[in-house]
């Protein structure tokens, strides 16, 4: 039965999406007042979805959230473009604005230091006295040689991304921080030292990135011609693999929705599609659950035909799953 499968495997994951994006608590003016100013200190990012600087900070802020996971500190954000008046109360004039809130205080202190992960984590440890989780050790790309090239790259069971580089190449060095992120760390070949292999694969300049799709041992590398940015390289990989990866290598929210839809297609359960609707809604509108729950509650107080009453009650029960997860998370703050 679809609902049983959903509850067993995906309920927790989807209820979390509504309230936490990448380990960062998403706030509204209402939840801000309930969350900030309690026993835990908090760092809050006032952002705008369209802001390029905010988008650049997002993966760093997400990593910061991971370092603070399970610690006595809150990492949160609020859309100050959508809630402009609320942002103005705190003197927000540009995006992103980071503010630190001490325990039992709703007075924000402007964060003015660098916005890299080391500076942010050091700031939090100094202000809170809390030792954060250790940062994961970055692992470099697998170094290829003539001895292991065919075994690794031509493996028919694996998709392989390869950077053909030269140690002296400035563009190659600029690409390295992107290439050594875990989900992109596949392999690299010093094409300047191993020119025979480079020539065989048509390498004429550095760096050259090629993607070798699984399925055959006679792989032909697909050359990447986009910008050397993480998002563009991920998009390139998604185009050929059919996956929907994001920064960090995880599946994006829509990929999870698609997995649910596939489950729904195999199910005869009448309310499978309603789970999908809720799942899609909470990605774009975190407030949907509460609004819809209240609407159904009012509807149930009216005189309804038995079938309509039962339908509304079941939908309300489904929403309750997500409301319980929200309350549980809030109680932990």
Q: Residue 204 falls within a domain, yes or no?
A: yes
Q: Say how many CA atoms lie within 13 Å of 100 toward its Cβ.
A: 15
- In a domain? residue 164: yes
Do 57 and 124 share a structural domain? yes
Together in a domain, 99 and 177: no
Do 156 and 104 have their domain in common? no
Nearest to 209 by CA among 248, 176, 247, 245: 176
Task: For residue 48, give the CATH number of its domain.
Answer: 3.40.30.10
Same domain as 237, residue 150: yes
* pLDDT given for residue 329 in this prediction: 41
pLDDT above 90 (res 199): yes
Q: Which of 34-38, 122-126, 287-291 has the lowest mean pLDDT?
A: 287-291
- 16: confidence class by pLDDT, cuts 50, 70, 90: very low
Give yes or no: residues 199 and 282 share one domain. Answer: no
**Is residue 332 over pLDDT 60?**
no
11 in a domain, yes or no? no
Residues 57, 103, single domain; the answer is: yes
Residue 182: its pLDDT value, please? Answer: 45
Q: How many Cβ atoms from other residues are within 10 Å of residue 308's Cβ?
A: 12
pLDDT of residue 135: 67
Domain limits for position 77: 36-128
Q: What is the mean pLDDT of residues 119-123?
A: 94
Residues 163 and 227 in one domain: yes
- Residue 194: band (very low, low, confident or very high) from pLDDT cuts 50, 70, 90: very high
CA distance 10 to 26: 20
Which residue is it, tokens 């999406």?
Answer: 17
Residue where a domain terminates, one of 193, 226, 241: 241
Q: What is the pLDDT of residue 236?
A: 78
Clarify whether residues 118 and 147 are in a common domain.
Answer: no
- Mean pLDDT, all residues of the chain: 77
- Residue 186 banded pLDDT, cuts 50, 70, 90: confident
Confirm whether 279 is domain-assigned: yes
Q: Are residues 148 and 197 in the same domain?
A: yes
pLDDT at 85: 94
Residue 9 lies inside a defined structural domain of this protein: no
Task: Tell whether 321 is covered by a domain.
Answer: yes
Residue 331's pLDDT band, with cuts at 50, 70 and 90, is very low
Looking at the structure, tell me whether residues 181 and 156 fall in a common domain: yes
- Cis peptide bond upstream of 279, omega within 30: no
**For residue 181, which of 168, 163, 197, 164 has the smallest C-alpha distance?**
163
| 69-83, 181-195, 212-226, 260-274, range with the lowest pLDDT | 260-274
Residue 20, in any domain of the structure: no
Domain ends where: 67, 101, 128? 128
Burial tier of 219 (Cβ tally within 10 Å: 0-12, 13-18, 19+): buried
Q: Catalytic residue numbers?
A: 51, 54, 169, 172
The domain boundary, picked from 195, 222, 241, lies at 241
- pLDDT tens-digit profile of 251-310? 455 455 555 555 555 555 566 667 667 766 665 566 777 888 888 888 888 888 878 887
Q: What strand order describes the sheet that includes 108-110?
A: 20-21, 24-27, 74-79, 42-47, 97-101, 108-110
Distance CA 35, CA 104 (A): 10
Confidence of residue 96 (pLDDT cuts 50, 70, 90): very high
Tally of structural domains, the chain: 3
- The answer to whether residues 216 and 174 belong to one domain is yes
pLDDT digits (tens, 9 = 90+) for 43-82: 999 999 999 889 888 888 988 998 998 899 999 999 999 9
Residue 136 has pLDDT above 50, yes or no: yes
Evaluate whether residue 212 is within a structural domain. yes
Residue 99 is encoded by which pair of tokens?
């503010």
Sequence-distant (6+) residues with CB within 8 A of 106 are 33, 36, 37
Q: Does the model's pTM come out above 0.85?
A: no
Residues 148 and 235 in one domain: yes
């Amino acid at each position: 039965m679809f609902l049983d499968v959903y509850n067993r495997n995906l309920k927790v994951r989807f209820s979390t999406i509504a309230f936490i994006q990448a380990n960062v608590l998403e706030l509204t003016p209402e939840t801000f007042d309930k969350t900030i100013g309690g026993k835990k200190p908090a760092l809050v990012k006032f952002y705008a979805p369209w802001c390029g600087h905010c988008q650049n900070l997002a993966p760093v802020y997400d990593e910061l959230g991971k370092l603070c996971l399970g610690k006595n500190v809150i990492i949160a954000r609020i859309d100050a473009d959508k809630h402009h008046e609320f942002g103005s109360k705190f003197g927000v004039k540009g995006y992103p604005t980071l503010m630190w809130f001490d325990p039992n205080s709703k007075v924000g202190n402007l964060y003015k230091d660098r916005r890299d992960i080391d500076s942010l984590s050091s700031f939090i440890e100094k202000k809170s006295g809390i030792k954060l989780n250790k940062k994961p050790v970055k692992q470099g790309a697998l170094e290829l040689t003539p001895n292991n090239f065919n075994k690794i790259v031509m493996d028919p069971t694996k998709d392989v991304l390869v950077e053909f580089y030269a140690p002296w190449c400035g563009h190659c060095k600029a690409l390295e921080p992107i290439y050594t992120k875990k989900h992109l760390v596949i392999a690299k070949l010093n094409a300047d030292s191993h020119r025979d292999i480079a020539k065989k694969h048509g390498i004429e300049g550095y760096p050259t990135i090629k993607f070798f799709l699984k399925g055959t041992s006679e792989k032909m590398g697909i050359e990447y011609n986009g910008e050397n940015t993480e998002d563009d390289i991920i998009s390139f990989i998604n185009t050929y693999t059919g996956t929907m990866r994001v920064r960090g290598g995880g599946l994006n929210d829509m990929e999870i929705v698609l997995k649910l839809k596939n489950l729904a297609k195999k199910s005869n359960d009448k309310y499978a599609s309603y789970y999908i609707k809720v799942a899609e809604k909470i990605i774009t509108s975190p407030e949907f659950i509460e609004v819809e729950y209240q609407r159904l509650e009012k509807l149930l107080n009216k005189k309804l035909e038995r079938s309509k009453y039962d339908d509304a009650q079941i939908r309300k029960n489904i929403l309750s799953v997500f409301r319980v997860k929200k309350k549980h998370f809030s109680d932990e703050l």
